[in-house]
Amino acid sequence: MKNIFKILMVFILPLLLINACRDEADRNWTSPDPSIHLYNTTLSSNTLYPSMDNNAFRLVWDPVAGASGNYTVQFSKTADFKTPITFGTSATNSLTKTIQDLNTSLLQAGYSPYAQTMLYIRVINGTNVSNVISLGVTPYPVSIPVITNPLAGQSVVLNVNTPTETALTIKWNDYDYGTDVNYLVEIAKKGSAAFSELGSVQNVKELVLSHFTLNEAASKLDLPVNVASEVDIRVTAKTESPGGIITKVSDIVTFKVTPYQPAYKDFYLVGGGTAVGWNAGGAQLLKNTQNLAEIYTYLENNGEFRFLGQQDWNPINYSLNTPGIKDAYKFFKTWSSNLTIGGGDENMKFTGDSGMYKITIDQNTKSITVTASPIPTIPAELYLVGSINSWNAGSAFTMDLVGDGVFEYTIAIPDGAEFKFIGQQSWGPLEWANIHSSGNSGFLGPKGDNDNIKFNGGGATYKITANVKLGTYKITPQ
């Protein structure tokens, strides 16, 4: 008998232990009891049709005593709500939307038209979570592109340290048109009708945006840095065929973007109305000091120009933020009265008299002003004066004219040397030196806005070049 008892214990004890472990596992993995009761909803048909667009889709739940804030209704394709989608919010214990809203949300969540898929719904309020209801639903296709990413309410935080990495891939669903289709993706502040271009693609249904590209777009919208702001995006599909042009615009999706403060930009001046002409490789860099970019340079009456972000035509261009200019080039929000839009969709035009001007760009306010230089003309002669000749203007060295407004002189320069350029062999009105203050910036300022050029030459021979027309100078070892 004792032996039989021992045998039974051998078999029973493991079973008890196994069941105990299962009970413990069940306790660990079972969700807490719902604290909000969500009532089942019924549809007149679980297969949705366009004719049902304006029909109401209503969800009701019991209110939570002492609840604060809104109730949020979430959708999911799976019962575990691993990737919940916000369908709507409500300050009361019900939410009413249209079947069209429901259908659009399903398509944005990746539900396939004409295929029934389970839809799971719950309500949350703070730490309170409702029971989950489910139904099989079949959405219908729509005749416009449907943005599937980003989701409504999604937040994108941009990173200054990873400018070239992907920040967001905008995706959408659309029909196969049987011909080439061009997609234009646009962005605007939430609720604004002033959309600007984010990018365009052909025959593909996504647009990849880097942190830099999206941050530039946010900057053009004047979104505050380090703050999550709501923006609207839309996608326009355009097809051309013998039957004509068809344009279809998606519904707007609103999401949040947090831009960063970029490093201050470089501006390169180029154009037929400037001293460098339409030579992108020789475009003139402006002097940067914090948010200000500036230069004294030559501008021609009715001459056109714009600014590049590099000594090349692409990828960055800056022009006036006004109708008629390409969206990608719009930058300056305000400008002086002697500037206007040029003859094309890329350039600005200078309407003042030909001569020397100071261009000032304030990157914080995105403003550009063009004011006359105290010395409006280019000198016919230029002289070098300074510690290298005991600051004797009467015996200043005559520089060689080697180009339009360009002068050179070769000389041995000791350490601690200081000098200026003058337009006469005397201390008179024509004078140029380092812009604003003493130093060796390479940028010229006229009399009243300059100080000595300082240079440690160690007694070696250098060629000093002053380009008064361009507003620059350089010191080159020989």
Higher pLDDT, residue 122 or 138: 122
Higher pLDDT, residue 276 or 2: 276
> What's at 338, amino acid-wise?
N
DSSP string, 387-438: GGGTT-GGGPEEPEEEETTEEEEEEEE-TTEEEEEESSSSSSS-EEEEESSS
Compute the distance between CA of residue 350 and CA of residue 297 in angstroms, rounded to an integer: 13
Are 99 and 106 in contact by the 8 Å Cβ rule? The answer is: no
Q: What is each CA distance from 325 to 37, 212, 232, 408, in whole angstroms?
A: 56, 22, 22, 40
Compute the distance between CA of residue 221 and CA of residue 188 in angstroms, rounded to an integer: 7
Please name the helix (run of DSSP H) or strand (run of DSSP E) that holds residue 102, with its range, or none.
Answer: helix 99-108
Q: What is each CA distance from 8 to 12, 15, 20, in whole angstroms?
A: 6, 11, 18
Q: Is 309 helix (H, G, I), strand (E, B) or coil?
A: coil
Helix, strand and coil content of the chain, in percent to the nearest 5, comes to 15, 45, 45
Higher pLDDT, residue 271 or 19: 271
3-state helix/strand/coil string of 254-278: EEEEECCCCCCCCCEEEECCECCEC
Residues 420, 429, 405, CA angle at the centre, nearest 5°? 60
Are 377 and 356 in contact by the 8 Å Cβ rule? The answer is: yes
| pLDDT of 28 strictly over 80 | no
Query: How confident is the model over 194-213, as pLDDT tens digits?
Result: 999 999 999 999 999 999 99
The residue to which tokens 């060689």 are assigned: 400
The residue to which tokens 């295929």 are assigned: 115
| pLDDT of 5 strictly over 70 | no
The pLDDT, as a whole number, for residue 242 is 61
The pLDDT, as a whole number, for residue 115 is 76
Higher pLDDT, residue 433 or 343: 433
The pLDDT, as a whole number, for residue 177 is 65
Compute the distance between CA of residue 388 and CA of residue 376 in angstroms, rounded to an integer: 28
Query: How confident is the model over 36-73, as pLDDT tens digits?
Result: 999 988 777 788 887 888 999 999 999 988 888 899 99
Other Cβ atoms within 10 Å of 129 Cβ, number: 19
Are 317 and 296 in contact by the 8 Å Cβ rule? The answer is: no
Mean pLDDT of the chain: 89
Alpha helices in 173-234 (DSSP H): 211-220
The pLDDT, as a whole number, for residue 27 is 35
Other Cβ atoms within 10 Å of 136 Cβ, number: 10
Higher pLDDT, residue 302 or 110: 302
Strand partners, 420: 385
Across 222-232, average pLDDT: 95
Confidence of residue 178 (pLDDT cuts 50, 70, 90): low
The pLDDT, as a whole number, for residue 113 is 67
- Residue partners of 178: CB distance under 8 A and separation at least 6: none
Compute the distance between CA of residue 462 and CA of residue 415 in angstroms, rounded to an integer: 12
- Residue partners of 80: CB distance under 8 A and separation at least 6: none
The pLDDT, as a whole number, for residue 15 is 43
Compute the distance between CA of residue 266 and CA of residue 363 in angstroms, rounded to an integer: 10
Name the token pair of 462: 């250098």
| pLDDT of 328 strictly over 80 | yes
Q: Is 162 helix (H, G, I), strand (E, B) or coil?
A: coil
Are 250 and 146 in contact by the 8 Å Cβ rule? The answer is: yes
C-alpha count within 13 angstroms, C-beta hemisphere, residue 87: 28
